[in-house]
Structure formats: structure tokens, C-alpha cells
Chain A
């Protein structure tokens, strides 16, 4: 229709080329993201000459990668993966019933308010939330006094500065990032599908596992990704709650740039971090796709049999 109008003389429809509109953003990202990160990748192939110069790019090699993976530092990557995967799954398990309840069971007029309440911790400063937990689980903090009063423990609480404290911290900090996509996914679901499933005689559990959950799968995947990626790079939670046991890759990278002055090593670790996130993500995506196609095949057979029988 617009082309016909264009034919009318006197009207010139000027369309700014899309690329031009996006150009400022393009330039910004390239200048302040692509180039700096590229430099970091380049740095990872360098070496550290002496304590007063953080890096030298005279000789390029994979030495820093070898050092980052050697027995001294390798376990950190393993530990980070362990915390990353455990934390993400814990977030999923905790958030799933909650998001479902919020999106489906709560009366609609309350939904907005409760959602707003969920968002409040999400928008509180990450560091402040973590310090709050430090206050709670400190040996002279609230949890300690309450548990001692109740007689559950006899000594002050020895929880702060441990791996479990870090796990608690990361699960807490990234929980809203799991709740929100799940909420959106459940919210988008057409309630009639669930009703249909119930009418066909499926139990509530079966409805959930075979109708609701598969349909909400994009939200689950989004939540897993939104949590796993920043969790792997976490730095603050481990610093504030972890003590020596925290030991996440993010902390190690930071210390290479802040105190140990070995930028090439830090850069190599940063690249390894990004690689491990990508590889793990792809691995789980692959597993997910395989599982899904296997389930699909199984279900298809069942339905076909049913139809044939009818």
C-alpha cells in the first residue's frame, strides 16, 4: 500500500536507513566493549616480565593458559563449576513451585502486588543484600543467637566463611532471575490447556509434568541461562561470605588484576571462564534437546496407539 502512495507526486517518504539509527549504539559497543574485551583476549597470550610491569606482549604463547589450568589453579575452575551447577539447579527447584503459585494460583488482583514485592530484592544492591546475609549468619548475628536460644546449637554459629555460605548467598542473589522468567512463562500459558488436560482425566501432577511444564520450557531455559551465566562469574558473594573456601574464578581473576599484578594470567582465566560458561551451556542445551526428542518420541507412540485404538 505504501508503494502505491509513493507513486503520488509530491510525497517523498524518507526512511532513515536502519543501520544509521543504530550506528551510535554500534560505535559505543565496539569502542567500549568489543575492543577492550579483544584486548583482554590478546593479553591472555602475553607474559608478565617483572613485578613493576603488569604485562608484556613481546612474546605470545599459551603459557598463561597452561598455568591457569595447572594443579594450583585448576581446582578453582572445578569448584566454580560445581557451585555454578549446584546453585543453578537449587534456584530452579526453589523457584519453580513459587513461580507457578504466583502465576497460576494467586488471585489476579494480588498478582501485581506480590510480583512487585518479589522485584524489591531484585533491585536492591547486590552487595548490600550479601552484607545482609553476613550480618545474619555471623557468629554474633541473629541466626546464631536464635539457634542458640532454641538450643539447636551450643556454640556460636560456624557458618560464615564456608562454601555452603557461598551457596546460600548465590542462590539468594540470583533467585529473582529464576523466578521472573518462570513467572512470565507460566503467566503466558493458556489456562484452557490445563483445563482440557484435567477434563481428559489427568491427575494434577500429570497435568503439570506433561502439559504445563513442557509449555513453560522456554521460561525454564531462560531462567537457567540467566542464573548460570552471572553465577559462574560471581565475585562479590564469594568475597563477602566465602572466606578462603569461597574461591570462585571471578575472585581469582580479580586478584590477578588487583593484587597479584599478573594481567596475562588474569586474562587467560577470564577467557577460560567465558569458555567454560559457553561449553557448559552448550552441553546442557545438547542434553536438553536429546532428552526432549526422546520424550517426544515416547509420547507420540502413546498418542498414536490411543488414536488407533479409538
Chain B
């Protein structure tokens, strides 16, 4: 039966309408997904006083940005905070991830509950919780470090990021066969060597991916930062947010475009690292959403 059906099918060349419909939907979706981003990039070349009213094409937004030391300092603050927050959260998260994957115990359910809560709590709740807490720690209890803007940003950004890194590293380690480490132990490797030469290289893709994701999450963090930031150490999203209230300018779109490029570079590196580490597209997607 199939032998006679196939040639008939080959000759008929029927248009697969569902494929066409899905393809069109896909294109529309991409247009939808990219619309605001393209608009922001385009409007960064607006020469008007206000961002929303298009006045003409020019690089005034970018020159204004170069003339604006405050806007520039917010970018540097964000990058500094991002790097330090990435270091902190990667260290904390990787250790936790390894512990979850390799040394589970009775503590695991409790830890997972806390992790889930960290990931699931809406940002606004985190924000209103951290501000009074930092003031209490910094002013009431005299721990001056917590009145420092950079310290506050690093602590706040590293919470969510550490949880994400922990899950990524755990997922990676669980996927790896423990016998590699066992064999190293059998071959008289010291715990430190075992870690350095076997475990670390194996989990490196996940750790790197986690570090870069933490960096990006920190660059992006808006709500919590707007509550806890101290003037002088303002990250760039908070700068953008406050200008939403008082009047958007083209330089806001300019700084957003530049930060978008930076984020894309960071994410591109993550993708490359994961690809090299042998992940499939699905695996990468899984990693990106934190498992």
C-alpha cells in the first residue's frame, strides 16, 4: 500500500498550509519581539529635546551622552557592580550547586525551599524588604559597609543570581558521571588535585555560563536597584527609570543601545561556551531559563 501511495504523494506537491501558517506566525512573532528594541535603537538617533517626539536623524543622543559625565558614571557603576556581583554569586552558587549534586543530605530539601523562594518572590517584595534592612544594618547597627552604594548593589544583585548559578551548576554536575571523580580518587589523587583536574574542568562551562548570566542579570536589575541605590553609585537602569518620570531624552535611548550591545556580547559568549561544552540548542535554552 505504501509503495503505491508514495509516488502519488511525490507528484502531488501539496502546499502544507499548517507550515505556512506557522511560518507566518513565526515571522510575526519575531517582528513583535524585536519591535521595541528596534525602535529604541532608532530613536537613539533622534535629535529632538524629548525622546518621544521624533525630530530628525542625528547623533545628538550619543554626543549628549559623551558630554554627560553622570550618565557615563552610571554605566561604570553598573559594570563594576556586575563584575563583583558575578564573582560573589558564582562562588556561592557553584559551591552550593556542587554540594547539591555531589553531597546531598537531609539539608537539601530545606535549601531547595529557600532557593525556590528566592527565585519565585516578586522583585518588588525583595526591594521593599531589602531597603529597610540595609538601613537597619547600616545605620541602626552601625555596619557602615551597608550604607555604601556599591556594597548594597552587589548584595542585592547576587541573591537571585546565586540561586540561578546553583541550579545551573547542579544540573550540570548531575548530568556528569561521578565515576570520573571516583576513579581519580582511586588513582590516589589528593582531594585538591581531584577538584582541580577533574571536577573543575567538568563544571567549568556551567560555572562560566552562570558567571556571565549573573553579570547580565546584575546589569539588568532595575526595581531592587531603584529602591536601595545610594546617590553617587546609581546603576544605569535606575538612571533611566528616574528619567521616565521627569522627561525622557534621546541620550537615554543612546545609553540603552550601548548597554544592549554589551549584554548581547556577554550572552553571545555564554552561548559559545555552552556550545563548546557540547550542549544542544535545547540544553542552552534550559540553562538560560535556569533549568
On A, residues with C-beta under 8 Å from B are 1-2, 5, 11, 13-22, 24-26, 28-30, 32-37, 39-40, 43, 94, 97-98, 100-103, 105-106, 111-112, 114-136, 138, 140-142, 172, 175-177, 180-181, 183-184, 187-188, 204, 226, 229-230, 232-236, 239-240, 250, 253-254, 257-258, 263, 266-267, 270, 273-274, 277
Contact flag A121-B37 (CB < 8 Å), given A33-B117, A235-B123: yes
User: What 0/1 readout, one digit per residue, does chain B (239-261) give for beta carbons within 8 Å of chain A?
Assistant: 01100100010001100100110
Cβ–Cβ contact B37 & A37, under 8 A:
no
* Bound CA span A183–B285, Å: 8
Contact flag A22-B282 (CB < 8 Å), given A1-B182, A32-B159: no
* Bound CA span A258–B131, Å: 11
Residue among B25, B30, B282, B286 with max Cβ neighbours from chain A (10 Å): B282
Cβ–Cβ contact B36 & A102, under 8 A:
no
User: What 0/1 readout, one digit per residue, does chain B (98-142) give for beta carbons within 8 Å of chain A?
Assistant: 111011110110010011011011111111111111001000000
Please, which residues of chain A bring their CB within 8 A of the CB of B39?
132, 135-136, 142
Nearest-CB residue, chain B, relative to A120: B264
User: What 0/1 readout, one digit per residue, does chain B (1-44) give for beta carbons within 8 Å of chain A?
Assistant: 00000000000000000110011011001101111110110010
Please, which residues of chain B bring their CB within 8 A of the CB of A136?
35-36, 39
Cβ–Cβ contact B220 & A126, under 8 A:
yes
Please, which residues of chain A bring their CB within 8 A of the CB of B133?
32, 35-36, 39
Please, which residues of chain B bring their CB within 8 A of the CB of A19?
99, 103, 105, 107
Please, which residues of chain A bring their CB within 8 A of the CB of B115?
29
Distance of B76 from chain A, by nearest CB (Å): 17
Q: Which of B30, B118, B122, B129 contacts A233 (CB 8 A)?
A: B122
Cβ–Cβ contact A24 & B123, under 8 A:
no
Nearest-CB residue, chain A, relative to B26: A101
User: What 0/1 readout, one digit per residue, does chain B (273-291) give for beta carbons within 8 Å of chain A?
Assistant: 0010000111011101100
Cβ–Cβ contact A128 & B40, under 8 A:
yes
Q: Which 10 A-B pairs have the closest CB atoms?
A: A233-B122, A132-B36, A18-B103, A21-B99, A187-B282, A25-B96, A36-B129, A36-B133, A22-B99, A101-B22
* Bound CA span A180–B132, Å: 35
Distance of B238 from chain A, by nearest CB (Å): 9
* Bound CA span A183–B282, Å: 7
* Bound CA span A218–B158, Å: 29
Nearest-CB residue, chain B, relative to A103: B282
Q: Which of A18, A94, A135 contacts B105 (CB 8 A)?
A: A18
